[in-house]
Amino acid sequence: MEHLARIPKNRIAVLIGKRGSTRKMIEKACKAS
């Protein structure tokens, strides 16, 4: 099963966070790579 989140282009930097910390946290929580 695949889940997709729709993120506006102007919010990508917020999603990624400093040094990718937010993105890594989301990937870990979702068991994604």
How far apart, in whole angstroms, are the C-alpha atoms of residue 3 and residue 11? 19
Total domains, the chain: 1
Residue 16 has a CB neighbour count (10 Å cut-off) of 15
How far apart, in whole angstroms, are the C-alpha atoms of residue 33 and residue 31? 7
Digit-coded pLDDT (tens) for 1-33: 677 778 888 888 887 878 888 888 888 888 876
DSSP-assigned letter for residue 17 = -
Residue 1: per-residue pLDDT: 64
Residue 33 belongs to what domain range?
1-33
Residue 14: per-residue pLDDT: 81
Residue 14 has a CB neighbour count (10 Å cut-off) of 10
